[in-house]
């Protein structure tokens, strides 16, 4: 049964790759074909950028920039290097990095506790976690967001970032350690919790 599931998942992935490859070949000449790729991957790229910025308007801008850059450079994309969706994540990561360079100061979250009702504590904890993640180096932000907010595997993160799997694991470990210390300093996480979860 497990073998059948693995075989089905592999066929599913192969079909998605074949479909993407065909669309990319056509998209080099036809905007409509690129529109189908845009429709297919927009939500996942938007979600990734949103988890990195937690700003809806900025996410819309950076997602648009990501797809515009992909459209402009579609002729340079080669299958033998990385899957198309991993290439999009790389472009999105670069867009975020360029934005952070331009924005030396990070803007604070705009939470309206009055409108949040019962979820105020959850939103405040999430905002504090997000702010702590934003203070990490960009590479740690990327691997933590991809792993825990986007549910990417180590091997997928490796393809997206262009780093070896061992490097990704190391960056993830170091990033989580730095995040744990930051949350302990803010009083969001006790040192006992950090030891249990760390």
Q: How far is CA 167 from CA 143, 152, 157, 161, 178, in A?
A: 11, 15, 10, 10, 16
Domain boundaries, the chain: 1-103, 118-198
Instruction: With a cut of 50, say whether residue 48 has pLDDT above it.
Output: yes
Q: In this structure, are residues 98 and 85 in contact, taking their beta carbons and an 8 Å threshold?
A: no
pTM: 0.65
Q: In whole angstroms, what is the distance from residue 107 CA to residue 105 CA?
A: 6
The overall average pLDDT reported for the chain is 78
* Residue 136 contacts residue 179 (beta carbons within 8 Å): yes
Instruction: Grade residue 62 by pLDDT with cuts at 50, 70 and 90.
Output: very high
pLDDT band at 99 (very low <50, low <70, confident <90, very high): confident
pLDDT digits (tens, 9 = 90+) for 153-177: 999 999 899 999 999 999 999 999 9
What is the structure's pLDDT at 35? Answer: 87
Burial per residue of 156-187, b for 16 or more beta-carbon CB atoms within 10 angstroms, e otherwise: bbbbbbebeeeebbebbeebbebbbebbeeee
Task: Tell me the two tokens of residue 52.
Answer: 């990195």
Q: Does domain 1-103 have CATH number 1.10.10.10?
A: no
When pLDDT is averaged across residues 109-128 and rounded to a whole number, the result is 52
Rounded alpha-carbon distances, angstroms, from residue 142 to 108, 150, 181: 20, 10, 18
CATH number listed for the domain at residues 118-198: 1.10.10.10
DSSP string, 77-109: --TTTS-HHHHHHHHHHHHHHHHHHH--SPPPP
Q: How many residues does the chain have?
A: 198
**For residue 111, what are its two tokens?**
């939470």
Sequence-ordered list of residues with C-beta below 8 angstroms from that of 62, at least 6 positions apart, any chain? 49, 53, 92, 95, 96, 99
pLDDT above 60 for 115: no
Between 17-26, 102-111, 165-174, the lowest mean confidence (pLDDT) is in 102-111
The more confidently predicted of residues 147 and 119 is 147
Residue with tokens 């300093």, as numbered in its chain: 185
């Amino acid at each position: 049964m497990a073998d059948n599931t693995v075989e089905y998942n592999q066929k599913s992935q192969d079909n998605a790759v074949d479909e993407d490859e065909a669309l990319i070949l056509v998209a080099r000449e036809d905007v409509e074909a690129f529109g189908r790729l845009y429709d297919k991957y927009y939500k996942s790229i938007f979600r990734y950028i949103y988890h990195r910025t937690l700003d809806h308007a900025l996410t819309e801008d950076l997602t648009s920039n990501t797809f515009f850059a992909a459209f402009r450079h579609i002729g340079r994309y080669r299958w033998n290097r990385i899957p198309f969706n991993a290439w999009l994540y790389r472009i999105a990561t670069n867009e975020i990095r360029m934005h952070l360079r331009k924005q030396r100061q990070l803007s604070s979250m705009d939470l309206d506790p009055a409108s949040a009702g019962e979820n105020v504590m959850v939103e405040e904890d999430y905002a504090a976690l997000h702010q702590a993640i934003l203070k990490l180096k960009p590479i740690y932000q990327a691997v933590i967001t991809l792993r825990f907010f986007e549910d990417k595997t180590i091997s997928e993160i490796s393809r997206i970032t262009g780093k070896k799997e061992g490097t990704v694991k190391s960056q993830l470990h170091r990033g989580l350690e730095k995040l744990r210390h930051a949350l302990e300093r803010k009083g969001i996480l006790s040192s006992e919790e950090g030891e249990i979860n760390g």
